């Protein structure tokens, strides 16, 4: 049975079936608006999230839909009970690591608008970025530049190469909050030097939710012969992505945040002409397979096929609801939250003021209150869970399709209480 059919069959047994959601999604005459609470309440019931808690942190690890958990558990049980049936003539259906996973790679390709052959499955963004940093041929004196707001998983592998091989690693400073796209473009371009060989940059800054003008940045880098590697950890499932339109040289992302797949699911895409010359740093039988470049990096020993089936179920769930509907809902809720926060005089929002640069991540603080105290206030008052961003930047508050306007309104009441207003 296909994952798609399994998804619909399984959800038909749920308290509120996705069948009804799908019927709405495919009907043009009776389609509810994106802010219709009935539609999204039915979607919310497809998640296993506890009803007495509110989750506001898919920017770290997302909530998995019921079908994802069921698909993973189903395969784990099959592996535990029926492994003797495996005849060792290929690993499809049992383990991952030795099968090229064309079905899943093709679904990813459709989601991100890229060629499946140049997509490798990885554990996460950190491992994907490491493959690129380790695999590029660079010499002492070549310069890698990135921003001062990158995640450690995006920059650390380049620092290792600096220490080991003598390449130069340099950071430029982006504002927080970022005022507009032109400010970012000017800052990045002014950081380019004759010796700059690679630009590593987040598509969306994890610590502010700022969506950067990567298409324009990549165009400027391309004029100067600078390779562009984009970190899309916060993009997949939150914002529409068209890699071909962006024009980058490499893109890395993950599925355990906004798509709702199990942890341990990520990818990298690299332009074919670059990928064919990229050295593998975790090598097995396929290390020299230039017929399927993405498989060279996907194949890295015995892996967990169960979580890849969970990834496929998450991709199908996302598609069944409708990708653009998901993106619109996330942005709508994010704007709703930020609009309310900006009405509070003691609250500072660190996410960009430009609506075009924001989606579901909002970062803000309350004057005189640390992020930890604000995070604790949410939990103690209403069992809500955003994530602390430290003493200066308050909390990161993410909104997703399993959240509601009522939850945002309740959260804002807590912020007002903490602010004393």
- When pLDDT is cut at 50, 70 and 90, the band that residue 30 belongs to is very low
Q: Over pLDDT 90: what percentage of the chain?
A: 76
In the predicted structure, residue 19 carries a pLDDT above the cut 50:
no
Q: Which of 29, 145, 55, 50 is nearest to 387 (CA)?
A: 55
Given the candidates 3.10.310.30, 3.40.640.10, 3.40.50.300, 3.30.110.30, the CATH classification of the domain at 102-312 is: 3.40.640.10
Query: How many Å apart are CA 269 and CA 292, to the nearest integer?
Result: 13
Q: Which residue has the higher pLDDT, 97 or 313?
A: 313
Check the CA dihedral 334-207-351-410 and report its sign: positive
Query: Which residues, including other chains, have CB under 8 Å from residue 200's CB and lie 6 or more apart?
Result: 129, 144, 145, 146, 150, 154, 155, 158, 229, 231
Decide the pairing of beta strands 361-366 and 54-55: unpaired
pLDDT-derived band at 95 (thresholds 50, 70, 90) equals: confident
Question: Residue 295 pLDDT > 90, yes or no?
Answer: no
- Residue-by-residue DSSP string for 134-202: HHS---TT-EEEEETT--HHHHHHHHHHHHHH--EEEEEPPPSS---HHHHHHHHHHH--TTEEEEEEE
CA distance 395 to 207: 9
Residue whose C-alpha is closest to residue 184's, from 166, 159, 211, 157 = 211
Predicted local confidence at residue 369, as pLDDT:
96
Is the pLDDT at 291 greater than 80? The verdict is no
Please write the tens of the pLDDT for every residue from 248-271. 999 999 999 999 999 999 999 999
Per-residue pLDDT band for 59 (boundaries 50, 70, 90) equals very high
CATH 3.90.1150.10 boundaries in the chain: 325-419
β-pair partners for 201: 230
Which tens digits make up the pLDDT trace of 307-358? 999 999 999 999 999 999 999 999 999 999 999 999 999 999 999 999 999 9
> What fold, for 325-419?
3.90.1150
Q: Estimate the share of the chain in helix, then strand, then coil, as percent rounded to the nearest 5.
A: 45, 15, 40
Write the burial class of residue 58 (CB in 10 Å: 0-12 exposed, 13-18 middle, 19+ buried). buried
Whole-number pLDDT of residue 283: 76
Q: Is 180 exposed, middle or buried (0-12, 13-18, 19+ CB in 10 A)?
A: middle
Q: What are 258's two structure tokens? A: 């906004």
Chain centroid, CA 302 distance in Å: 25
Write the DSSP symbol of residue 373. H
Report residue 91's pLDDT band, with 50, 70 and 90 as the boundaries: low
pTM for this predicted structure: 0.90
Decide if pLDDT at 46 tops 90.
Answer: yes
CA dist 89 to 98, 185, 240, 289, Å?
11, 52, 39, 19
Instruction: Categorize the per-residue pLDDT at 69 as very low, low, confident or very high, splitting at 50, 70 and 90.
Output: very high
Q: How far apart are the first and last CA of the chain?
A: 56
């Amino acid at each position: 049975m296909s994952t798609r059919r399994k998804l619909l069959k399984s959800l038909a047994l749920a308290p509120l079936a996705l069948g009804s959601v799908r019927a709405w999604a495919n009907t043009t005459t009776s389609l509810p608006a994106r802010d219709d609470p009935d539609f999204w309440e039915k979607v919310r019931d497809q998640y296993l999230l506890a009803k007495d808690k509110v989750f506001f942190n898919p920017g770290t690890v997302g909530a998995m839909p019921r079908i994802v958990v069921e698909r993973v558990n189903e395969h784990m049980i099959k592996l535990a009970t029926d492994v003797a049936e495996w005849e060792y003539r290929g690993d499809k259906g049992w383990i991952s690591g030795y099968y090229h996973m064309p079905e899943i790679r093709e679904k990813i390709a459709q989601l991100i608008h890229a060629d499946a052959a140049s997509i490798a499955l990885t554990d996460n963004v950190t491992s994907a970025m490491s493959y690129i940093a380790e695999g590029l041929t660079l010499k002492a004196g070549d310069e890698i530049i990135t921003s001062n707001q990158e995640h450690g998983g995006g920059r650390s592998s380049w620092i290792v190469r600096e220490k080991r091989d003598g390449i130069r690693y340099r950071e430029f400073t982006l504002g927080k909050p970022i005022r507009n796209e032109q400010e970012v473009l000017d800052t990045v371009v002014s950081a380019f030097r004759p010796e700059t060989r690679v630009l590593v940059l987040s598509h969306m800054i994890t610590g502010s939710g700022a969506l950067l003008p990567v298409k324009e940045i990549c165009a400027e880098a391309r004029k100067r012969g600078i390779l562009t590697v984009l970190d899309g950890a916060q993009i997949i499932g939150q914002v529409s992505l068209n890699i071909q339109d962006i024009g980058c040289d490499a893109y890395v992302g993950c599925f355990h945040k906004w798509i709702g797949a199990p942890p341990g699911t990520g990818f990298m895409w690299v332009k074919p002409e670059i990928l064919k010359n990229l050295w593998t740093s975790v090598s097995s039988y396929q290390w020299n397979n230039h017929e399927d470049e993405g498989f060279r990096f996907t194949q890295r020993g015995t892996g967990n096929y169960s979580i890849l089936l969970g990834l496929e179920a998450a991709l199908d769930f996302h598609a069944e609801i409708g990708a653009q509907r998901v993106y619109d809902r996330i942005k709508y809720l994010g704007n709703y939250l930020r609009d309310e926060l900006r009405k509070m005089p003691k609250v500072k929002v660190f996410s960009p003021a430009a609506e075009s640069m924001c989606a579901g991540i909002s970062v803000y603080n309350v004057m005189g209150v640390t992020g930890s105290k604000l995070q604790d206030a949410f939990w103690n008052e209403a069992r809500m869970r955003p994530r602390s961003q430290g003493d200066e930047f308050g909390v990161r508050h993410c909104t997703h399709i399993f959240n509601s306007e009522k939850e945002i309104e309740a959260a804002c009441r807590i912020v007002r209480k903490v602010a004393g207003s």
